[in-house]
Structure 1
Amino acid sequence: MFSFYKNLFPAAREYARQNGRPDIILASSVHPLTLVAGIKIARKFGVPCICEIRDLWPEAIFYFNKAKERSILGKTLTLGERWIYKNADALIFTKEGDTDYIKEKKWDKPQGGDIDLGKTHYINNGVDIDAFYKSINKKTLKDVDLDNGKFNVTYVGAIRPVNDVGNILDAAALLKDENDIQFLIYGDGIQKEMLEKKVADENLSNVKMKGHINKQFVPYILNKSSVNILNYSQTRYNWARGNSSNKLFEYMASGKPIISTVKMGYSIIDRYKCGLELENGSPEDLAKAILEIKDMPKENYQKLGQNAKDGAADFDFKVLTKKLIKVIEKTLDYRQGVP
């Protein structure tokens, strides 16, 4: 982290030597020091800096119990966070409700703070719609599990504690007698081996642990799905401010209903009426929701899928790029004194 931070400064100087001074700096939060570097480099060049906040650091660290908020480290990180928000010329949050965090901290100017909410913007992650649909036809897989005519309950993503994939397996255990339902789990992570053992020990023949999958095949897999699962731990993250998961938008683009085991604030699933969100996300609730989607009238099922597809269009990279251009233009105009 620190070496990356240090290396950004000579890299920026070399870029400017070869290409001239940039008009603007866009720093995206791989980690907080990237944002600090972006602001400092922008100052050296005398240009504005836009900071994109992908995750609320250090809140995410506190949720994962990597540090305590009231510890010296926690307070230092929080001070650094506020410094970033104050000194950035513009802020882009990838979750719609993240500006609520600034208000909760009372850092905004209406509450006596020093952060102008007028410079905050919302641009979520998204999906390249054209590339997604081309991949369905061009990047195909030969896999009997995708073509056996069963109702495919599909999860694609990391297999870590925050994703709580074991919850899906517990739901699968409850549906073992539903012979026309199968669970397809694609992904890798620190809990993969443990969950593979669970599948074997409990003889969950309706679960297929597919392991790592090349991203180019994800559109084809989701196209063969019947329902896609967004599965998260209820306690390991603050979902009140929304979701910026890339797979949400891939799920939507597939045109299949979505079940989320977390009821989120600023809910995209609820806004576009493209699936179900569960209050507590227990295996019992998840199993019930799967059966609800499976057994609903065909017309209702297709409506959910079409809503998902229509909603994905709002998060197409072309749409998001236009939003980013507007933020860049507004930030440059403000710096130049253009009203």
Structure 2
Amino acid sequence: MTKNIWILNHYGTNMYRDQAGRHYWFAENLRKLGAKPTIFCASTFHNSNGKIDIGADKYASEQVNDIPFVFVKTPDYKGNGRSRIWNMVSFYRNLFPVARHYAKRVGKPDVILASSVHPLTLIAGMKIAKKWGIPCVCEIRDLWPESIVAYGALKKNSILARLLYQGEKWIYKKADKLLFTMEGGKDYIVDQGWNQEKGGPIDLNKVHHINNGVDLETFEYNKEFHTVDDEDLNNENVFKVVYTGSIRKANNVRKMVEAAEYLQFKGHPNIQLLIYGDGTERAELETYCQYRELQNIKFKGFVEKNKIPYILSRSDLNIMHFEQNSLKRYGASLNKLFEYFASGNPTISDCEFGYDLIQKYQCGMVIDNANAKLLAEMIIHFSSMPKAEYSVYCNNARVAAQDYDFTRLTGKLANLLGVETTDRPMVQTGSETEER
């Protein structure tokens, strides 16, 4: 029976601060199964100037809610330039002495879960695991370099891209198991021609999938105890359409502004768009709304994560947006989507993903690459929908949230890592029966 589990996640420091997130919730639920998870992460916070002060040492360790975090010393960085690359390299290099020293203190792990974003964490996990003769599960949360190529930052046939693809193939070959957050991980390997059936080195039988999800217990707690005093959000006389997330060029919130403009022009004063989040495009879009005298859209600014559940619970419809690129065919693993499900309200999306969950659960409407007019017409459709029909979408959203509750997802991970779970009862929730 696997007991000691080391989770390597460079950017897990944010989970320590927020007491939330994929690996935090995995660790929380693994402890309930009798396992002893430890999260290794950088001493710096991602997209923030904050850091964990560890002095002259190589690392520091702290516990939050009985979950041990090990902070590996890494230098400060800003943006995506050389300083960030050096931060990645430093995390990789320092993991080895930190692992040796920490193992002397508390004992060696039985299995390592090494999680990307960047591949150096995966390589470190495999090397450490090989030295101690234990398995390493490589978790792929981002396709490198495919993501860089898809967003146009790297040419697919460049020398650097070819080297990175070869490195990616090597990792997939050497990993004891592969765990993709996106459901189309196997499709990606097949498309690259790396599977054994096409003469490649990778056995598809070791490829697994566990998506992101939502901790429903935490969601419900935050919804009740972290409320927002917002007269627009609490207005029962309008149909509220909510977007939560960044407001940057890649998020294309401008399309939502244009949809609001169409709604106002067509005369739908009962519909209100509420945008929660911040980013580089916010000021420009607010200025545009003022210039066009749009009364049906408001930018609410940044809010703490623990207030998102309450905000979503007060919405009538949620908006999902994703930039069109080649990655979408492999599926989505967007945290926001599962929070939308947990709200128990329908979701509309302008991007059809492979293995699309909104379509699978019939908890909203998807029109691929929808323009502002189509987005507005979807909003009108839901705002005028009969109550009985609307309730079906709401119920389906709750079913989706139950299926992607981290209690359930951790059961899948425990089986993958070799943690004994046979003492847990089988329950029926949502679309399938699983251990819980």
TM-score range, shorter chain: over 0.9
SS at 2:144 equivalent: coil
Taking CA–CA contacts closer than 8 Å with sequence separation of 6 or more, which of the two structures ends up with the larger relative contact order?
Answer: 1
- Equivalent positions of 1:273-284 (< 5 A) are 273-284=362-373
Instruction: Tell me the equivalent position of 2:352.
Output: 263
Query: What fraction of aligned residue pairs are identical, expressed as a percent?
Result: 48
Contact preservation (8 Å) 1:168, 1:231? no
1:156 to 211, 223, 244: 244
- Taking the aligned partners of 2:231 and 2:409, their CA distance within structure 1 comes to 37
Contact preservation (8 Å) 2:185, 2:207? no
- Equivalent positions of 1:134-173 (< 5 A) are 134-149=221-236, 150-173=238-261
Question: 1:110 Cα deviation (Å)?
Answer: 1.1
Instruction: Tell me the equivalent position of 2:114.
Output: 27
Aligned residues, how many?
329
- Taking the aligned partners of 2:282 and 2:247, their CA distance within structure 1 comes to 6
- Taking the aligned partners of 1:217 and 1:294, their CA distance within structure 2 comes to 25
1:293 aligns with 2:379: no
Question: 1:258 Cα deviation (Å)?
Answer: 0.4
SS at 2:345 equivalent: coil
Superposed CA RMSD in Å reads 1.2
Instruction: Tell me the equivalent position of 2:98.
Output: 11
Unaligned 5+ runs, structure 2: 1-87, 420-436
Instruction: Tell me the equivalent position of 1:65.
Output: 152
Question: 1:215 Cα deviation (Å)?
Answer: 0.5
2:133 to 46, 58, 67: 46
AA partner of residue 155 (structure 1): Y
Q: TM-score, with normalisation over the residues of structure 1?
A: 0.94
Instruction: Tell me the equivalent position of 1:337.
Output: none
2:414 to 309, 325, 328: 325
- Taking the aligned partners of 1:87 and 1:190, their CA distance within structure 2 comes to 41
Residues 94-120 of structure 1, C-alpha deviation per residue, up to 9 Å, x if partnerless?
Answer: 011121010011100111110011111
Contact preservation (8 Å) 1:127, 1:312? yes
Instruction: Tell me the equivalent position of 1:82.
Output: 169
Question: 1:82 Cα deviation (Å)?
Answer: 0.6
Residues 243-286 of structure 1, C-alpha deviation per residue, up to 9 Å, x if partnerless?
Answer: 11001000001000000110111011111110000132100110
- Taking the aligned partners of 2:327 and 2:359, their CA distance within structure 1 comes to 18
- Equivalent positions of 1:173-212 (< 5 A) are 173-176=261-264, 177-212=267-302
1:220 to 310, 313, 318: 310
- Taking the aligned partners of 1:148 and 1:16, their CA distance within structure 2 comes to 55
- Taking the aligned partners of 1:154 and 1:218, their CA distance within structure 2 comes to 11
Contact preservation (8 Å) 2:137, 2:176? yes
SS at 2:97 equivalent: helix
SS at 1:218 equivalent: helix
Q: TM-score, with normalisation over the residues of structure 2?
A: 0.74
